Amino acid sequence: MPPTITRAALFAGAAIASVGLAAAPAQAATITLSEGHVDVVDIGYEGGALELVLADGTSGTEVERDPADVLLHVKPEAETTVPNNSAYSFLGSPGDPVWILPQALNADLLYAGWSAHELDAGVFRGDTVQLQLTAVSGPADVSVYDIVNAQPVKQFDSGDGLPDSVNVSAGDHHHTNWAFQAEGDYKLTFKATGTLLDGTTVNSDSVDYHFTVG
């Protein structure tokens, strides 16, 4: 819970801020998340528009956040090495370092996925929309993949070209592996698109999500 600010302190702070800082633009504080449950992309449909937010469940109570206000920290503990298995060649050469937020819960790391809790059935054709990764900016490639029957199945991979897309059903909640091939700062740009029952195509805005690795 935020600290209580007294009326006197509020006025005093306002007076100080007015001296030489009156023209400074307001800016939201960045919230850094480094462990716990997070739906990196949470897809909703409201007022005739698709929207993308971030669902922060790290405190145990889910809070919707503007992705612009959040930095997702892939901690040093996420570092591992690329397996000596050709199925994982999209991550690099065997033995190369790679930083992975895992599909399985690890209490020391972010448990990252996507969701569509606020998409109602009976709105979109097939009750699905497409989530697209349209761009990645950063020091290396990013791959998002599932493990199915002990084998990796790619969902998004900047290494073989973008955009990539996956189908997301109304009410979906999906956790997966997020792999980064180098330390540093990354920006992942997502958008969603879907077709309403009447044939109208609707698109979300493109939304940037920010990660720091290491």
Task: Indicate the pTM of the whole model.
Answer: 0.85
Query: What pLDDT is stored for residue 29 in this prediction?
Result: 54
With beta carbons less than 8 A apart as the criterion, state whether 168 and 131 touch. yes
- Burial class of residue 101 (count of CB atoms within 10 Å of its CB; 0-12, 13-18, 19+): buried
pLDDT at 15: 36
Q: Which residue has the higher pLDDT, 28 or 116?
A: 116
Whether omega for the bond prior to residue 163 falls within 30 degrees of 0, making it cis, is yes
How far, CA to CA in Å, does 171 sit from each of 50, 53, 86, 207, 211? 14, 15, 34, 21, 25
User: How far is 192 from 176, CA to CA, in rounded Å?
Assistant: 18
Burial degree of 149 (CB within 10 A; 0-12, 13-18, 19+) = exposed
Mean pLDDT of the residues in the chain: 89
pLDDT at 97: 99
